Structure 1
Amino acid sequence: MEEEYGAQQIQILKDLEAVRKRPSMYIGSTGPRGLHHLVS
């Protein structure tokens, strides 16, 4: 069951939407280590 990937699957996120949607992509972890990374 393969789905084709095309232009309709691409989402353009504005401002901090991308960080809110996938925070681990930007800070590495959403746990205590990620919090420490943000405040240090």
Structure 2
Amino acid sequence: LERFEFYEAAGDDDHCLTIATGETSYYANILLTVGAIPPGA
């Protein structure tokens, strides 16, 4: 995306995560775990 297209996309209500990297590969593998740790765990 171009700069201002990115700003518009990142401002959407359903946007929750952006990962910016200097990697120049066209693809990558990422393992992302999302969760919560209960209090007192």
Q: TM-score range by the shorter chain?
A: under 0.3
Tell me the TM-score normalized by structure 1.
0.18
Return the TM-score normalized by structure 2: 0.18
Which has the larger helix fraction?
Answer: 1
